[in-house]
Chain A
Amino acid sequence: MGMSRTNIIVLLIFGAILGYFLSFGPNTTQKFKAGVYQLLAPFLTSGSGLKKQITSVRTGLKSLDQLEHENAALQVENRELRATNQSLRDVEHEVNRLRHALNYRERSVFKLIAAEIVARDSSTWWRTVTINRGRRDGIETDMPVVTDEGLIGKTTSVSDVISVVLLVSDENCRVAASVEGSREQGIVSGQRVTTGLTPLMDLNFLSKQADLKPGQKVYTSGVGGVFPSGLLIGVVKSYRVRELDGQAQLTPAVDLSHLEDVFVVTGRR
């Protein structure tokens, strides 16, 4: 039994569209990606808000569960007090977070644009987050992204209102680095696979005599042009000598699994 004429025509159209996509160069791919993100931006932003609400409700339900075991006479009053307390704690957390961010922005030597994480990566092999700032806010590709604790990564795809940030824990995000208290310089890159909850990074191309000690801080060296010097990348966890060079394993300076507010570095003041 052969294919019907309609099916053959549809298959040819499918093949033509596929060929069109496969012919995309880096620039066209970048534009295509930014365009789709632009279309998805309202869903991503509202999805982020919805997720926060669900988390908040879940926290509330936990308190209710605990209250069941308490004195029956005080149950209603207790519930009210706990609910009030919880919401105040949420507000306090929010105020502290924003105050912290504001302080950092004011004392920073860089020009910073504040942004919020709206979505995380859904793919297995890349570590990215999406932020709610884009071209309209002055964001461009390859801009460093930081928090007050250190380097997060750099922007890759930028649409009008949202941007994708490649995290420093991704294997493709390479950062020229220098080690505190030594003349050692190397390249930091993420690992392809994360084994634990905290992703680790490798600091490659060190000299064999580097002998780095756990706890030493690693900063951006400013070589390469994307990342300005002096941003904390991570802390040395271990060091080993390889056949041709030395390699250190780093713990990121920032907890990349719990990011909320970040800053995009647009230049120096």
Chain B
Amino acid sequence: MIFFFLLLFLVLAAQIAELFIPALPWLYNAHVYIVPVIVFYGAMALPFPFMLALALYAGVLLDALTVQVIGGKVEISAGSSILMYGVLAGIMHGLRPLFARGHWEVHCILSGIFTSLIVLAQYLMITFRRGSVVFTREIWWQIGGPGIVAMLVAPIVFWSLQWIGRMTAYQYGPERGRFE
């Protein structure tokens, strides 16, 4: 239980930290996103109900920070991030046995792909609202860049969270499917 609350705290801290991390000019101004990596680790380490709670919490935070109401119109509906985190964390949750057998690389790669999927989904939603479909090389890099960064930081984040889990005596047991 301590581990779950620690993850909630880390998601909040990472979400705030992201506001102070500048975009990477050498990667077409791609942004650095750490929160998805923490959520996806939580999706693997936590049982189903707690995984959904974490996805809900992270989604609410992301919605609050990204949803823009301009001229009485909402570009991305509140709740869209909750839905995205719920679905993607659910997929990650289904791959828990693989993670338990030590295949971290699959989840690191998936963390990157899923992070890019979140950015892509946001882009598709604003494109739909603004009414012009534009896909330039810069846009692809701004979608793919955060995924690449997430993929690179995922092993460090996963290792750190695994270590925190051990320190808090959290027992990772995907086969048993229960929270200890």
A interface, CB within 8 angstroms of B: 3, 6-7, 10-11, 14, 17-22, 24-26, 28-30, 32-33, 35-37, 40, 43-44, 47-48, 51, 119-126, 128, 130, 156-157, 166, 171-173, 192-195, 197
5 residue pairs of the A-B complex, CB under 8 angstroms, read: A19-B79, A21-B63, A22-B77, A33-B78, A122-B15
The answer to the question of B70 belonging to the interface, with a C-beta cut-off of 8 Å to chain A, is: yes
Indicate which residue in A11, A18, A19, A125 contacts B123 across the interface (CB closer than 8 Å). Answer: A125
**A26 CB contact (under 8 Å) in B22, B73, B138:** B73
How many A-B residue pairs have C-beta atoms within 8 angstroms? Tell me: 132
Known contacts A128-B68, A194-B29, A18 near B19 by CB under 8 Å: no
B82 touches A36 (CB 8 A): no
Residues in B neighbouring A119, C-beta threshold 8 A? 19-20
Known pairs A157-B69, A193-B139; A172 contacts B75 (CB<8 A):
yes
Task: Let me know if A124 and B74 touch, CB within 8 A.
Answer: no
Q: Which residues of A contact B49 (CB under 8 A)?
A: 6-7, 10
A33 engages B69 (CB within 8 Å): yes
Q: Is the CB of B74 within 8 A of A29?
A: yes
Q: Nearest Cβ in chain A — how far from B117, in angstroms?
A: 13
A197 to chain B, nearest CB (A): 6
Is A122's CB under 8 angstroms from B31's CB?
A: yes
A-facing residues in B29-68 (Cβ within 8 Å): 29-31, 33, 48-49, 52, 55-56, 60-61, 63-68
Query: With the chains together, A101 CA to B25 CA distance in Å?
Result: 29
Query: Which residues of A sit under 8 angstroms from B66, Cβ to Cβ?
Result: 122-123, 126
Are the CB atoms of B64 and A37 closer together than 8 Å?
A: yes
- Selected from A6, A17, A47, the residue in CB contact (under 8 A) with B56 is A17
Which residue from chain A places its CB closest to the CB of B23 in the assembled complex?
Answer: A124
B64 touches A47 (CB 8 A): no
B136 near A193 (CB under 8 angstroms)? yes
Which residues of the other chain, A, contact B17 by a CB distance below 8 angstroms?
47
Name the CB-closest residue of B to A154.
B70
Residue from A17, A26, A122 in contact with B19 in the complex, judged by beta carbons closer than 8 Å: A122
CB contacts (< 8 Å) of A22 on chain B: these are: 77-80, 83
Residue contact A14 to B68, C-beta cutoff 8 Å? no
Contact between A24 and B123, CB atoms less than 8 A apart: no
Instruction: Contacts A10-B48, A26-B73, A123-B65 known; list 11 others, CB within 8 Å.
Output: A19-B79, A28-B78, A32-B64, A44-B19, A51-B20, A121-B19, A122-B15, A123-B31, A123-B66, A124-B119, A193-B136
Given A18-B79, A192-B139, decide whether A47 and B68 contact each other with a Cβ distance below 8 A.
no
Roughly how many angstroms separate A33 CA and B60 CA in the complex, as a whole number?
Answer: 10
Indicate whether A30 sits within 8 Å of B52 (C-beta atoms), given known contacts A40-B16, A123-B31, A192-B134.
no
B72 at the A interface (CB under 8 A): yes
Q: Which residues of chain A are near B142, meaning CB under 8 Å?
A: 124, 193
Minimum CB distance partner of B143 in chain A: A124
A10 nearest CB neighbor, chain B only: B49
Q: Within the complex, which residue of B69, B71, B73, B86 is in contact with A14, where a contact is CB–CB below 8 Å?
A: B86
Q: Is the CB of A36 within 8 A of B65?
A: yes
Give chain B residues whose Cβ lies under 8 Å from the Cβ of A171.
130
- Contact between B19 and A47 (Cβ–Cβ < 8 Å)? yes
Q: Which residues of A contact B86 (CB under 8 A)?
A: 14, 18
List the A residue with the shortest CB-CB distance to B140: A193
Query: Contacts A29-B69, A37-B64 known; A120 to B56 CB distance under 8 Å?
Result: no
Is the Cβ of B19 less than 8 Å from the Cβ of A120?
yes
- Residues A43 and B48 in contact, CB atoms below 8 Å apart: no
> Is B52 a contact of A126 with CB atoms below 8 Å?
no
A134 to nearest B CB, angstroms? 15
Q: Tell me the bound Cα distance from A198 to B48 in angstroms.
A: 45
Q: Which of B60, B122, B134 contacts A123 (CB 8 A)?
A: B122
Q: Which residues of B contact A21 (CB under 8 A)?
A: 60, 63, 77-79, 82
3 closest Cβ contacts across the A-B interface? A21-B79, A36-B64, A22-B79
